């Protein structure tokens, strides 16, 4: 029997094969839905009907669904709105979160324990839908984009994660900065922020995804449909069992099938997150692990 | 007992393709019967608006007052104007809350249909659209914030909690403007029938103007080419013949199944309940008391029959989780032979020229007299926020009068087709909606008011309207009304939805073989104890008060 631990030993072919199979299955579980969504968005009606609703591999590719979506449906506008809300919301939310986390990580801060308890208690008691709606109304934010940003700008969960990360920064660094004459803002900008990039990236991604995927806020607070973000428009396409394009009103003019339009929208809605993710992955593992260890 | 099986696609197709009645909306028939009493009246303290039959063009096939719909080959492009007396509106905003099944329409500046409508109505239509899936979430928030717009349209089947109390507190009593002959000032509203108006009664008075709904509920659609190829009979007249059809067509190796259900869908079971003679939700006994259909002796055997078909392997294996979209695709591609759905709710009729399909006429399981559940008469009611300004009320009713204009009129044509060139083109004398035209109509106004609907589907599958018309001729004589349809039960209003859901779960559980049919006895007993018995008493009380 080898002295080496099991994980350092040369795997047997059967073990390798099983690992390969397991990895393939896991990948398949992740990739197949994506593939199906993309393929269905590019498929023709005949293919979709023949495949019982969803296509795994289109035999002929059609971009009609995408053309249909950007042809006066307001989807283009809703994408701009979603991007705007996500960018502004994420920046604002990160600003609030990191500042709050830094403040709450300082043990010598006035009322630190009380304020921390105040933040933590919001984790236990979520406000109801109607009270939040009434508050948004009282703040005269109904039918404004601020209603999509302000109510969800600060999350106690995110504050706790960032605070934990900041607390892990060695105190000696703060002390030396102070000895060099740095004030709290200087320490925050020149020390805390650069050292917290990983957790800021992770929390920023959480926040951005939250803003990007938010349909409930817009549903409640936006009455003007021209202000609807992409997620609410997409919800109306996907859930409502109707897509105008399914009706080939003009004989001879084949409109793209409803499923294609629905799936094309899903692709469009997923794309920004997919694009942003690779640039954040280098921070993800560090940020997630640090949060996990300290949390 | 059921959730209405509304297909938004078909709903709107009504406006887009099937130019129907005042609002060109055929597929509101997509509703299964509501459970009854949701917005119903606690008696009528004021007379029903007088019915004045609208002037209509001569139909290709004439309908009747019992519910068979008129059939037209095409929408007349030069119909008469029915709304007279100067501009309809006063140039002000018309804020209206509407539940929709569609997507947001293009904004006003890019929407020729919307612009035309504003011009025709002399108002600024400002729709506040709430997706159907979210209506129950958004509506309470709007009520709590006192943010309901001036005009509110509520789907009857939504069973909005404490609607009578809400109406009394926040909406205008329209009785003096609409009751009896007063409605004649608005001739198109006078063309709405009594069964529809009954849905607009709350607290015994008229608060809502109805969007009428055909009398039909769920239907069994057949893929006749598949059935014929398999040597089956697409028109079974007994349960045994129905089973024979399933046996003939079922071919799992080829991926062909006789039937399919769907997520939380008991429409198929309801179709068999009709075949077993189960009453339409409630039965009224001679002493005035009400008995639920769940207590009928054929209720459990009917569900057991569905379970038997399922156990025999005649249902698609994905029945429990299948979405409507998947199911429709399977039906279209010939992988399903029979599907149950709301009337004309399958997106199968109007938009697929190549599709061969049929509808099974209602049949009794033993070959005796068949029964067919009648719908509640209205899809939605539209109300006006409380005002004592008679001019506001008049403006509201004039706008609704325009929207409710009957099939064949100038107003109906505008509502259905919009602006020539951008929204429709005329091909061989037949107006044909453009894709842009279909999309621009998603303002929701087609859902808020309207009289009797017609069948007019010039771009649908050949002969589809005649086929449907023939089916209606067979179904109408078999209509079984729900005696509680227009009675009010506070218990149903507050607890009905959750109680119905529990019964639906119990039925699906038996149907899918997870529970035995006998378990339904316990489910019914619990249902009765949790509120069913109270509902029965309240319906009886409500009936007493109204009579």
Quick check: is B264 in a domain?
Answer: yes
The parent domain of residue A197 ranges over 63-295
Stated pTM of the model:
0.83
Number of domains in chain B: 2
| Residues in B touching A249 (Cβ below 8 Å) | 16-17, 432-435, 437-438, 459
B471 is a domain residue = no
Whether residues A67 and A46 fall in one domain: no
- CA distance, residue B126 to nearest chain A CA (Å): 8
B106 interaction partners in chain A (CB closer than 8 Å):
72-74
Of the residues B4, B8, B104, the best mutation for testing chain A's interface (the one with the most A CB atoms within 10 Å of its CB) is B104
What count of CB pairs under 8 Å joins A to B? 155
B284 and B254 fall within a common domain: yes
pLDDT higher than threshold 60 for residue A281 = yes
Answer whether B39's CB lies under 8 Å from B460's CB: no
Same domain, residue pair A140 and A110:
yes
Same domain, B130 and B109: yes
State how far the Cα of B321 lies from the Cα of B308, in Å rounded to an integer.
19
Q: Is the CB of A240 less than 8 angstroms away from the CB of B332?
A: no
* Minimum CA–CA partner of A261 in chain B: B103
For residues B149 and B194, state if they share a domain: yes
Residues B165 and B23 in one domain: yes
Looking at the structure, tell me whether residues B21 and B160 fall in a common domain: yes
Residue of B nearest to A225 (CA): B104
Measured between beta carbons, the chain B residues lying within 8 angstroms of A77 are 107
- The encoded tokens of residue B445 equal 């106004």
> Is B146 inside any structural domain?
yes
Residue B469 lies in a domain: no
> Which regions in chain B score pLDDT beneath 50?
1-42
A22 and A36 share one domain: yes
pLDDT score, position B352: 65
A246 touches B at CB < 8 Å:
yes
Largest CA distance in chain B: 69
Mark whether B343 and B395 lie in a shared domain.
Answer: no
Give contacts of A49 with chain B, Cβ < 8 Å: 329, 332-333
- What confidence score (pLDDT) does residue B247 get? 96
Report the share of chain B in percent with pLDDT over 70. Answer: 90
Q: How far apart are the first and last CA of chain B?
A: 26
Instruction: Give pLDDT, residue B344.
Output: 60
Q: Give how far the C-alpha of residue A1 lies from the chain's centroid of Cα atoms, to the nearest Å.
A: 49
- Written in H, E and C, the secondary structure of B410-474 is HHHHHHHHCCECCCEEEECCEEEECHHHHHHCCCCHHHCCECCCCEECCCCCCCHHHHHHHHHHH
Whether residues B204 and B275 share a domain: the answer is no
* Same structural domain, A133 and A89: yes
Counted domains in chain A? 2
Higher pLDDT, A237 or A268: A268
CA distance B65 to B194: 11
Q: Is the domain of B226 the same as that of B314?
A: yes
Of chain B residues 352-381, which have a CB less than 8 A from chain A?
Answer: 353
Inter-chain contact B107–A133, Cβ cutoff 8 Å?
no
- Helix (H) or strand (E) run with residue B382 in it: strand B378-384
| Structural Rg of chain A based on CA atoms | 25
Considering the domain architecture, whether residues A136 and A106 belong to the same structural domain is answered as yes
Claim to verify: residue A153 and residue A170 sit in the same structural domain: yes
Quote the mean pLDDT of chain A: 84
Exposure string over B356-373, b if 16+ CB within 10 A, otherwise e: ebbbbbbbbbeeeebbbb
Which chain A residues in 182-211 lie under 8 Å from chain B, judged by CB atoms?
A: none
A129 with A32, same domain: the answer is: no
Same-domain pairing of A127 and A244: yes
B420 and B326 belong to one structural domain: no
From A133, A134, A235, residue closest to B131, measured CB to CB: A235
Domain extent at residue B382: 8-52+77-216+376-451
Q: Residue A124: pLDDT above 50?
A: yes
**pLDDT, position B341:** 86
Q: How confident is the model at residue B77, as a pLDDT?
A: 83
- Same domain assignment for residues A45 and A67: no
* CATH number, position B325: 3.40.190.10
Q: What is the 3-state secondary structure (H, E, C) of B126-163?
A: EEEEEEHHHHHHHHHHHHHCCCCCCEEEEEHHHCCCCH
Q: Is B323 touching A (CB cutoff 8 A)?
A: yes
Q: How close B336 gets to chain A, by Cα (Å)?
A: 10
Amino acid B228: pLDDT: 93
Q: Which stretch of DSSP H or E encloses residue A84?
A: helix A75-105
Whether residue A233 sits in one domain with residue A294: yes
Q: How far apart are CA B35 and CA B282, in angstroms?
A: 9
Separation of alpha carbons A278 and A70, rounded Å: 27
Judge if B257 and B129 occupy the same domain.
no
Q: Are residues B384 and B402 in the same domain?
A: yes
Q: Residue A125 corresponds to which tokens in the numbers above?
A: 């008691």
| pLDDT reading at A293 higher than 90 | no
Contact status of B131 with chain A (Cβ, < 8 Å): yes
Give yes or no: residues B92 and B185 share one domain: yes
Those residues with Cβ within 8 angstroms of residue A49's Cβ, 6 or more apart along the chain or in another chain? A257, B329, B332, B333
Domain-terminating residue out of A30, A47, A62: A62
DSSP-derived 3-state class of residue B479: strand
CATH number of residue A225's parent domain: 1.10.3720.10
In a shared domain, residues A106 and A204: yes
Q: Are residues A46 and A118 in the same domain?
A: no
Q: Are B94 and B126 in contact (CB under 8 A)?
A: yes
């Amino acid at each position: 029997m080898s002295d080496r631990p099991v994980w350092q030993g040369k795997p047997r072919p059967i073990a390798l094969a099983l690992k390969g199979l397991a990895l393939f299955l896991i990948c398949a579980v992740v990739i197949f839905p994506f593939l199906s969504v993309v393929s269905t968005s590019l498929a023709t009606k005949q293919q979709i009907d023949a495949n019982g609703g969803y296509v795994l591999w289109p035999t002929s590719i059609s971009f009609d669904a995408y053309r249909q979506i950007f042809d006066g449906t307001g989807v283009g506008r809703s994408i701009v709105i979603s991007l705007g809300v996500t960018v502004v919301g994420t920046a604002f939310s990160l600003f609030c979160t990191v500042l709050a986390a830094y403040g709450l990580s300082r043990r010598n801060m006035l009322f630190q324990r009380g304020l921390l308890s105040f933040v933590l208690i919001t984790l236990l008691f979520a406000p109801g839908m109607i009270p939040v709606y009434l508050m948004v109304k009282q703040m005269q934010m109904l039918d404004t984009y601020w209603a999509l940003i302000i109510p969800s700008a600060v999350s106690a969960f995110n504050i706790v994660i960032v605070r934990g990360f900041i607390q892990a920064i060695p105190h000696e660094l703060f002390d030396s900065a102070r000895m060099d004459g740095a004030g709290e803002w200087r320490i925050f900008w020149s020390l805390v922020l650069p050292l917290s990039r990983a957790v800021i990236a992770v929390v920023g991604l959480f926040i951005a995804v939250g803003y990007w995927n938010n349909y409930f806020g817009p549903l409640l607070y936006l009455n003007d449909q021209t202000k609807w973000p992409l997620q609410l428009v997409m919800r109306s396409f996907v859930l409502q069992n109707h897509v105008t394009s399914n009706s080939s009103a003009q004989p001879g003019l084949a409109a793209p099938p409803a499923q294609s339009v629905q799936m094309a929208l899903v692709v469009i809605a997923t794309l920004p997150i997919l694009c942003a993710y690779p640039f954040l992955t280098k921070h993800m593992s560090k940020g997630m692990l640090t949060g996990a260890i300290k949390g | 007992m059921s959730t209405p099986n509304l297909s938004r696609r078909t709903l709107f197709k009504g406006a887009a393709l099937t130019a129907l009645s005042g609002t060109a909306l055929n597929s509101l028939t997509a509703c299964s019967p509501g459970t009854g009493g949701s917005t119903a009246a606690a008696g009528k303290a004021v007379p029903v608006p007088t019915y004045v039959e609208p002037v209509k063009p001569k139909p290709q096939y004439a309908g009747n007052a019992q519910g068979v719909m008129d059939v037209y080959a095409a929408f007349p492009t030069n119909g008469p104007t029915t709304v007279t007396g100067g501009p309809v509106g006063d140039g002000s905003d018309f804020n209206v809350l509407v539940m929709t099944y569609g997507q947001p329409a293009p904004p006003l500046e890019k929407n020729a249909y919307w612009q035309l409508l504003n011009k025709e109505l002399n108002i600024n239509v400002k729709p506040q659209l709430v997706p159907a899936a979210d209506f129950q979430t958004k509506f309470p928030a709007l009520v709590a914030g006192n943010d309901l717009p001036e005009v509110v349209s509520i789907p009857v089947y939504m069973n909005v909690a404490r609607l009578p109390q809400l109406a009394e507190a926040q909406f205008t009593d329209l009785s003096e403007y609409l009751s009896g002959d007063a409605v004649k000032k608005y001739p198109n509203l006078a063309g709405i029938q009594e069964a529809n108006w009954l849905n607009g009664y709350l607290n015994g008075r008229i608060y809502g103007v109805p969007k009428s709904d055909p009398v039909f509920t769920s239907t069994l659609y057949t893929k006749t080419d598949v059935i014929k190829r398999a040597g089956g009979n697409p028109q079974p007249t007994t349960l045994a013949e129905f089973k024979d059809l399933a046996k003939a067509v079922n071919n799992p190796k080829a991926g062909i199944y006789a039937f399919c259900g769907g997520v939380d869908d008991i429409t198929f079971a309801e179709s068999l309940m009709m075949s077993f003679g189960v009453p339409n939700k409630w039965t009224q006994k001679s002493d005035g008391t009400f008995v639920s259909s769940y207590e009928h002796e054929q209720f459990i055997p009917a569900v057991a029959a569905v379970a038997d078909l399922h156990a025999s392997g005649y249902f698609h294996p994905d029945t429990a989780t299948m979405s409507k979209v998947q199911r429709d695709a399977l039906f279209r591609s010939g992988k399903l032979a029979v599907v149950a759905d709301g009337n004309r709710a399958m997106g199968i009729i109007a938009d697929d020229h190549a599709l061969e399909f049929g509808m099974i006429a209602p049949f009794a399981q033993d070959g005796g007299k068949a029964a067919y559940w009648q719908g509640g008469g209205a899809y939605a009611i539209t109300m006006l926020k409380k005002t004592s300004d008679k001019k506001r009320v008049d403006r509201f009713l004039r706008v609704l009068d325009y929207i409710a204009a009957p099939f064949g009129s100038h107003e109906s044509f505008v509502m259905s087709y919009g602006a020539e060139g951008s929204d429709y083109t005329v091909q061989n004398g037949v107006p044909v909606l453009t894709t842009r035209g279909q999309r621009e109509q998603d303002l929701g106004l087609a859902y808020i008011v309207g009289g009797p609907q017609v069948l007019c589907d010039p771009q649908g599958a050949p002969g589809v309207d005649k086929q449907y018309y023939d089916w209606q001729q067979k179904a109408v004589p078999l209509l079984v009304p729900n005696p509680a349809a227009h009675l009010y039960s506070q218990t149903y209003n507050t607890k009905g939805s959750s109680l119905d859901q529990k019964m639906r779960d119990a039925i699906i559980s038996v149907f899918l073989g997870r529970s035995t049919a006998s378990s339904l006895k316990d489910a019914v007993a619990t249902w009765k104890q949790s509120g069913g018995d109270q509902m029965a008493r309240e319906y009886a009380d409500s009936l007493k008060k109204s009579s």
